[in-house]
Amino acid sequence: MSIVSLSTGEPTCTVEDVRAIAGANGFIIPPGGADETAFLLFANAFDATCEEVIKLPEYEDPRLKPVVVEGGARGFHQPDAKENPLNAWAHRTTLQTATAEGPLSGRTIAVKDNVSVGGLPLGLGCSPGLLKDGKHPISPIDAIVVQRLLAAGATIKGTATCENLSMFAVSYTSHSGVVHNAWLPGYATGGSSSGCGALVSIADVEELRRSGKDSRNYSLGEGVDMAVGGDQGGSIRLPAAYSGIYGLMPTHGLIPYTGIAALNPLIDHTGPMTRTVEDAALMLGVMAGYDGIDPRMTPESPMPDKVPKYLEDLQTWVAEREKMGEWTAKSAAKGLRIGILKEGFEIVGLDPAVSNVVKAAAERFRSLGAEVKEVSVSLHKHGAAIWTTAARPMMPNSISGNPPDLLSYAMPHLQPNPIGQAYYDTLVHRNPAAVNILMNAAHMQRKYGPALARKAHMHVWELRAAYDKALEEVDVLITPCNNTVGPKHPAGTAKTAENPEGFSERIMDLFEPAIGNTLNTCSFNVTGHPAMSMPVGWGKVEGSDGRLPIGMQLVGKRWDEASIFRVAKAWEVGGRWQDS
């Protein structure tokens, strides 16, 4: 068949189009000759092929059809400031199945605003002007994790504010404005799952008030028992650390990412954010397991019926120790091997007060009967550089709506506008990191070509092997999670009558509080190791007599979340973190 016969109707490409396409690829086709005529023919044939697909109706995978909920129709509203004083809610709803029976029955959940919930807007923390038609799409699907949570009896109370395009590690870049720390309004709750951190921590703040240890009475609004966060460089663990809750980034490929807006499949993770270790284990057991769609999952990923019973395992382990008389402040951690990662305490910008609190928390394991020793992984100090150069080149694809190389569900209802001046103008004084990612990717391509990213991917394997080797000697590696307590929101980020957009005039005012705060978290996104932040104490804040939580990161072997849960639970026998 000739290429001419592939084209139907009038040609849509001109010679000028062919010349522009060639120029975009950095070469020139000799004008007016046979070569140019041939490529014009090819261009029109290819365009006809494209039009054939464009005319097909969008396909909605029946596996992602929204779960039938009580009452049938799904509604939502955007809460006002009175209902949403921390600005942690993006949209409110109440979704549960008619029976609402299961392991999560009676439990309330919020999901990050990059997770598809059928019938609700998908906000991404960004201006609607960045998206097709200038509005946030109403999702026609339920993400797999949403389906599984509802099937387990959970009640979804809404979507939680996230940082602009999930591209910031503190909580003042969302289009809706700053997200306040529930422990100290005016200070960051971490990002990019910022609203999730604030909403889950509300109950702990209220508990401290009821105990009489906190007499403040500022408004908090309604919180939730649990939340679904997303993590590409620390975006579950950092807000968990800043908010005094538990935030688990599971092994890459354990929980399906299907129906969640991606940044890069290499580093995309979703996971639980909870008030207790037990709830993290419970929620993980519900969310985990192969879904047949997500290319992040591999032959190592368990089928749903083979997912470990994490909560049951933890409870059995505790019960056995209680039976042996070992569940005490002197022996609860007996037999556990704790590795204090030396390089994790040498990162740039680590507050000495944070370092001291985490070291003291790690040393507690010794008094609890564990073996505690310092472990060195020298490549850890290069982990952030490896993460950046390995992951950065593909991020513009996600920003522009291009699908990844491997087959996945690409959410066709979510269509960003083309990258251009409007993108820059919208974000440069709201979230300059999103602009910087484009600049970084272009810089890499222009100066180094693809060779640098290829080299970085090889070093990912080296880094994974280095952590694997260290974890042969210990059950978990310990590092600080947040390098400082939650910073104060920069001037200009709060929306006011004088500054209704909440734009900061100086880009560096936005960047400075975030510098270095992913240095201990992002490397595990590329190596795929599970890591959890757990609260272990308090730190003083600048500009206030208040205090904010400090998180300790526990890193485990790939597919060994059970050890992380055991280590965290044993630590608690030595006393509650709030009382430290």
Q: Any idea which residue has 């109950």 for tokens?
A: 203
User: 377 with 562: CB under 8 angstroms?
Assistant: no
C-alpha Rg value of the chain to the nearest Å: 25
User: What are the DSSP calls for 13-57, one per residue?
Assistant: --HHHHHHHHHHTT--PPTTSHHHHHHHHHHHHHHHHHHHHHTSP
User: 118 with 140: CB under 8 angstroms?
Assistant: yes
DSSP state at residue 138 = B
Q: Would you give the distance in Å from CA 559 to the centre of its chain?
A: 19
Q: What CA–CA distance (Å, rounded) separates 287 from 311? A: 13
Q: What CA–CA distance (Å, rounded) separates 200 from 190? A: 13
Q: What CA–CA distance (Å, rounded) separates 280 from 533? A: 11
Catalytic residue, from 116, 235, 504, 523: name it. 235
How many beta carbons lie within 10 A of that of residue 119, not counting itself?
A: 17
Q: What CA–CA distance (Å, rounded) separates 202 from 207? A: 9
Q: Any idea which residue has 């590092």 for tokens?
A: 479
Q: Any idea which residue has 């921390």 for tokens?
A: 86
Token readout for 477 is 């590696």
Does residue 359 have an active-site annotation? no
Does residue 55 have an active-site annotation? no
DSSP reduced 3-state for 228: strand
Does residue 235 have an active-site annotation? yes
DSSP state at residue 353 = H
- CA dist list (Å): 570 to 81, 337, 366, 367, 566: 40, 12, 11, 11, 6
How many beta carbons lie within 10 A of that of residue 466, not counting itself?
A: 19
122-150 burial, b for 16+ CB within 10 Å, e for fewer? bbbbbbeebbeeeebbebbbbbbbbbbbb
Token readout for 261 is 């807006």
User: 559 with 254: CB under 8 angstroms?
Assistant: yes
The vertex-89 CA angle with 83 and 93, nearest 5°, equals 85
Which residues are within 8 A (CB) of 84 and not within 5 positions of it... i.e. 6 or more apart?
A: 221
Nearest CA-CA partner of 377 in 460, 461, 477 = 477
Nearest CA-CA partner of 574 in 374, 341, 362, 371 = 362
Catalytic residue, from 7, 112, 171, 398: name it. 112
Where in 245-402 does DSSP place strands (E)? 246-249, 269-274, 337-341, 371-375
Token readout for 182 is 């529930």
Catalytic residue, from 139, 166, 174, 192: name it. 192
- CA contacts within 13 A on the Cβ side of 573: 22
User: Which residue numbers are catalytic?
Assistant: 112, 192, 235
